[in-house]
Chain A
Amino acid sequence: MKILVTSKRVTDPDMKIKVKADGTGIVTDGMNYKVNPFDEIAIEEALRIKEKGGGAEVVVVGIGGKDAALEIRSGLAMGADRGIHVLCEQAVDSSVVAQILAKVYETEKPDFVIMGKQAVDDDSNQAAQMLAGALGVPQACFASKVELAGDAKSARVTREVDGGLETIEVTFPAVLTADLRLNEPRYASLPGIMKAKKKKIDEIPVASLGVDTNPRVKFVKMTEPPTRKAGVKVADVPTLVQKLKEEAKVI
C-alpha cells in the first residue's frame, strides 16, 4: 500500500502577521515557517495506518521554492518514507496545486491521498476537492475518523459536517482530507530527525510536469482587518439591554 500526503510550508500562525504597506502581501522578514498544521494531522494519520501493519509506504509531497524542502523533511522526520519536492518558485493557487498533485499521483499511483483540509495561510480549502475532480476519484473531506477496510481497498470515513458527523464509505483510489480532531500529531523525535537526513527527496522542476502554472485566481490586494474599537462601560443591566436593542441592534 502506498499513501501520498502533502506538506505545505506556511507562515507560523502563532506569529503576529503584518500586511505590507502597498497591500501586495505580508511582511515576511523575521517570519517563522512551519508545516501546515492540518497537513501534520494528515501525515500523522498516514503514519498510524502504516504502523498498524500492512507495510504501507508514506510519500510526502511539497510544492515550493528551495526553502520548502524543510517542511518535506519535517514529514520524513515524523516517520514518512520518502519525499517529492516539486520545485516551483512562483505563487500558485489551489487549482495549480491540484493539477501538480494530479501529475504526481499519476506517477506514484498511491492507494489514496490524504492532505490537510486547508492550509492555515490562505484557508482556501479547495486543492483536495479539485484534485479529486481532476482525477475522477471519490473524495472524503473533513475526516475526523478514518477506518480502513480489511482488504484495504476502501475506507469508512467519519466527516465533520454542519450539524454533526456523517459516515461515508469511499473506495480507493480516493482523496481524503484531515480535520482538526482526526488525531494529535506526534512530535518529530530526535532519532526521527536524524534518520530523515538520509531519506530521499526527489526534486521535480514544475516545468517538467507539463502543467499550466498560471493561477486562475487573481490576487488583488491584501488589507489588515479593521482594528477593534474600544468598548464602553454601561451603568447597569437595563442600559445594557437598551443599548443592545437600539445601538447594536442584536436583540
Chain B
Amino acid sequence: MTPFLQEHEMFRRSLRELVGREIAPHALEWEAAGALPRELFRKLGEPGFLGVRLSEAHGGSGLDFWSTAVLVQELVRCGSIGVAVSVLAHAEFATKVIDRAGTDELKELFVGPAAAGERIGALAVTEPDAGSDVGAIRTRAVRDGGDYVVNGTKTFITNGSIADFATTAVRTGGPGHRGISLVVIPTDAPGFRKSQRLRKIGCHASDTAELSFEDCRVPARYLVGPEHGGFKLIMQGFEGERLVLALICCQQMRLMWEEARRYGHERKAFGQPLLGFQVWRHRLADALTSIEAAEALTYRAIDLYVRGEPCNQEISMAKLFAAEASVGVAHGCAQIFGGNRYMEEYAIGRLQRDSLAFSVGAGTSEVMREIIARTSGLEPREGAR
C-alpha cells in the first residue's frame, strides 16, 4: 500500500511539472558550473516547495516527512543528484533546525527567507579533524559582550560557496559533546571566509566548500536552542538528513535501473537485445529487488519518524542499507552498458559516481552500524572490556 495520499499526489504532479520545465533541461549546465543558480531556489520557493516541513508562521507548510519524500523523489528525477542534495541541504539540513529550536527573531531572519528561496542555507558541522566524531569539533565561539567571536574551520560544506547563512556547530563550553552549541552565522559577517569550491568526484551540481572563521563576530542571540545544547540538536537533525539520503539513494537506484532496462531493450549483441540474455535479466531482477528492499526499509523508518516513535535504529538501517545497496546496484546497472558505462555522455556513469557519496554523507556506514549495534544490545556489557 502506498503511504502517499491525494495531496501528496498533487504535490508530486505540480513539482514534476516544475522539474520538467525548469530543472531537467538545465541540470547538465549546472553540473558543469559546479553549483545551482540562486534563481532556482526562488523558483522552488515561490510555490512553497522549499517550506514543506517548515512552520506555517514562517512561510512553510508545516507538513510531515512524507511530503519531504515527494520533494526528494521528484528532484532526483531530473537526473542530477546534486540538485536534490543542494536543495535539501538548504531546506532541510540548514533550516529545519532553526525552525524547530530557534527564537522567533531567528525564524523571522532566516526561516522565512529560506522558505522563499531568498536566502540560501548551509549546515556546517564537519571539520578537517572532526567528521564522524562530532563531539571533537574545535571551532570555538567565545562570548564578547553581545557577540560570539568565532575561530575555526569547517569542511565538506554543501552549499558552502553559495550560502547566505551557515547553521554552524561551535564549541562554546568544555571538551566533548556537552560543550557544543549551534549558531547561525550570516556569510557576510566580518571574519567569515569561503574557500574555492572543493573539487568532488560526483554530485557536481551541488557545490561544496571549506568555511573559515577568523575572529568572526556574530550576535549571541543567533544561538539556536540552549547554549551547550547543540549536540542534541545536531543528532536530531541527522534523523531527517539520513532519511533524505536514504530516499535519494532509492530514487537514484531507480533511475539507474530504468536507464539499464532501456539500454538492455535497445542494444543488441549476438543477434538479440541484451535483455534476451538471462544473465542481464537476472542481474536487473536482483537490482530491482535491492531497490524495493531499500525503499521498504526507508518507508518503514519514515512511518515511525512521522508518528514520533523511537526510530534511530530503523533510520540507521535504512540509510546503511540504501547507501550500500546503491553501490552494488550502480555497478550492476552500469555493467550492461559495456564500454559506454565509462563515457561521460551516458548518464549511468555520472549516476554511479554520485552514488559513492552516500556511504559517507550524513553519517558514514560505519557510524550507522555502530548505532544499530548500540541500540540492539551488541555492545559488551559493563566491565567485560
Contacts of B51 in A (CB 8 A): 190
- Give complex CA distance A193, B13 in Å: 11
The answer to whether the Cβ of B6 comes within 8 Å of any Cβ in the partner chain is yes
Q: Does B184 contact A (CB under 8 A)?
A: no
Question: Main SS of chain A's interface residues?
Answer: helix
A191–B10 CB distance below 8 A: no
Q: Does A243 interact with chain B (Cβ within 8 Å)?
A: no
- A191 and B9: CB pair below 8 A? no
Instruction: Given A70-B6, A197-B7, answer yes or no on A190-B13 (Cβ-Cβ < 8 Å).
Output: no
Chain A residues within 8 Å of B11, by CB? 188, 190, 193
CB interface residues, B 2-28, toward A, < 8 Å: 6-7, 9-11, 13-15, 17-18, 20
Closest-CB distance, B153 to chain A (whole angstroms): 37
A196 within 8 A of B: yes
Query: How far is the CB of A191 from the nearest CB of chain B, in Å?
Result: 5
Q: Mark A165-195, 1 if CB is under 8 A from B, else 0.
A: 0000000000000000000001111111110
Counting contact residues on chain A (CB < 8 A from B), the size range is: 10 to 19
Question: Once bound together, how far apart are the Cα atoms of A196 and B49, in whole Å?
Answer: 16
Residues of B within 8 A of A196 (CB): 7, 10
> Is there a chain A Cβ closer than 8 Å to B48's Cβ?
yes
Return chain A residues, CB-CB under 8 Å to B9. Answer: 70
Partner of B61, one of A77, A188, A190: A190
Tell me whether A159 is interfacial, beta carbon within 8 Å.
Answer: no
B6 and A190 form a contact (CB under 8 A): no
Q: Does B175 contact A (CB under 8 A)?
A: no
Complex Cα distance, B15 from A187, in Å, reads 8
How far apart sit A194 and B20, CA to CA, in the bound complex (Å)? 23
CB of B52 within 8 Å of the partner chain: yes
Query: What is the size category of the interface that chain B forms with chain A?
Result: 20 to 34
Given A70-B10, A73-B10, A74-B13: A190 and B18 within 8 A (CB)? Answer: no
Q: Residue-by-residue, is A188-232 near B (CB-CB < 8 Å gives 1, otherwise 0)?
A: 111111101100000000000000000000000000000000000
Nearest CB to that of B10 among chain A residues?
A193
With beta carbons under 8 angstroms apart, the residue of A187, A194, A197 that contacts B18 is: A187
Asked if A34 and B13 sit within 8 Å, CB to CB, the answer is yes
CB contacts (< 8 Å) of A192 on chain B: these are: 47-48
Within 8 Å CB of A190, what residues of B? 11, 47-49, 51-52, 61, 63, 67
Min CB distance A180 to B, Å, is 14
Convert A70-91 into 0s and 1s, putting 1 for each residue whose CB lies closer than 8 angstroms to a CB of B: 1001100100000000000000
Annotate B22-44 by CB proximity to A: 1 below 8 A, 0 otherwise: 00000000000000000000000
**CB closest residue in chain B, given A69:** B6
Q: Name the residue among A190, A191, A196 with the largest chain B CB count within 10 angstroms.
A: A190
With most chain B CB atoms within 10 A of its CB, the pick from A70, A186, A193, A197 is A193
Bound-complex Cα distance A190 to B15 (A): 9
Q: Which of B47, B51, B67 has the most CB of A within 10 A?
A: B47
Residues on the B chain within 8 Å of A70, using CB: 6, 9-10
| Chain B minimum-CB-distance residue to A33 | B13
Q: Which residues of A contact B10 (CB under 8 A)?
A: 70, 73-74, 77, 188, 193, 196
Give the shortest distance, in Å, between A39 (CB) and chain B (any CB). Answer: 14
* Contact indicator B7/A187 (Cβ below 8 Å): no
> B14: which of A193, A194, A197 is its contact (CB, 8 Å)?
A193
Is the Cβ of B14 less than 8 Å from the Cβ of A188? yes
Interface residues of B in 40-67 (CB under 8 A from A): 46-49, 51-52, 61, 63, 67
What's the Cα separation between A73 and B10 when bound, in Å? Answer: 8
Closest to B67 in A: A190
- Residues of chain B within 8 A (CB-CB) of A194 are 7, 61, 63
A190 to B10 Cα, complex, angstroms: 9
Known A-B contacts A193-B11, A194-B61; A187 and B6 likewise in contact (beta carbons under 8 Å): no
Q: Are B7 and A193 in contact (CB under 8 A)?
A: yes
Contacts of B46 in A (CB 8 A): 189
Chain B residues lying within 8 Å of A74, measured Cβ to Cβ, are: 10, 13
CA distance A40 to B157 in the complex (A): 41
| B17 adjacent to A187 (CB under 8 Å) | yes
Query: A residues within 8 A CB of B48?
Result: 189-192
Chain B proximity of A147: nearest CB distance (Å): 26
Are A73 and B6 in contact, CB atoms less than 8 angstroms apart?
A: yes
Q: Which residues of B contact A189 (CB under 8 A)?
A: 14, 46-48
Contacts of B17 in A (CB 8 A): 187
A47 to B15: give the CA distance in the assembly, Å.
20
- Nearest CB to that of B18 among chain A residues? A187
Q: Nearest Cβ in chain B — how far from A209, in angstroms?
A: 26
Smallest CB gap from B22: residue in A: A187
Interface centre among A14, A187, A196 (most CB of B within 10 A): A187
0/1 per residue, A1-30, Cβ < 8 Å to B?
A: 000000000000010000000000000000
Closest approach, in angstroms, between the C-beta of A187 and any C-beta of chain B? 4
Rounded to whole Å, the gap between the CB of A23 and the closest CB of chain B is 24
Chain B residues whose CB sits within 8 angstroms of the CB of A193 once the complex forms: 7, 10-11, 14
Complex CA gap A188/B15 in Å reads 8
Kindly state the separation between the CA atoms of A196 and B10 in the bound complex, as whole angstroms.
Answer: 10
What 8 A-B pairs come out closest when comparing CB atoms?
A: A190-B48, A189-B47, A188-B14, A187-B47, A189-B48, A190-B61, A187-B14, A193-B10
| Known interface pairs A74-B13, A187-B15, A190-B63; 9 further A-B residue pairs with C-beta atoms within 8 A, sorted by A's residue number | A14-B20, A187-B47, A188-B13, A189-B47, A189-B48, A190-B47, A194-B63, A196-B7, A197-B7
12 A–B contacts from the bound complex (CB under 8 Å): A14-B20, A74-B10, A77-B10, A77-B14, A187-B17, A188-B11, A189-B47, A189-B48, A190-B47, A190-B51, A192-B47, A197-B7
